Amino acid sequence: AQSVAQPEDQVNVAEGNPLTVKCTYSVSGNPYLFWYVQYPNRGLQFLLKYITGDNLVKGSYGFEAEFNKSQTSFHLKKPSALVSDSALYFCAVRDNAGNNRKLIWGLGTSLAVNP
């Protein structure tokens, strides 16, 4: 079965420190992987995606994510966190096998960056 796991409900980091938000997935075919961010009282905004090619993907606002096929992971990272990065982060995967091409969403991780 297709699934996405974000093992941490909440991540706390100090401003200026590196941050990691974890995501693991399970699909039957090759994955298309996405990260979105949701600021308070807003819709989701696309951050970055992995489709194929280089395992390290760079996205908006200085975020990047590394696709690791052997560990079935797609962790979101940023070298130096900002207070303004505090938000909800969602990982999503789409399976390129079969006829079901819907996005499967993680439950979200709340990131708090402390000044």
Q: Using the CB atoms, write b or e for 38-70: b if 16+ within 10 Å.
A: eeeeeebeebbbbeeeeeebebeeebbbbbeee
List binders of other proteins among 46-65 (CB under 8 A).
Answer: 46, 49, 51
The residue (of 19 and 93) whose beta carbon lies closer to other proteins is 93
List binders of other proteins among 63-102 (CB under 8 A).
Answer: 88, 90, 94, 96, 101-102
Give the residue, chosen from 13, 27, 31, 34, that forms a contact with other proteins under the rule CB under 8 A.
34
The verdict on 112 binding other proteins (CB under 8 A) reads no
Residues with Cβ within 8 Å of 29's Cβ and at least 6 positions away in sequence, in order, are 95, 96, 97, 98
The residue (of 35 and 113) whose beta carbon lies closer to other proteins is 35
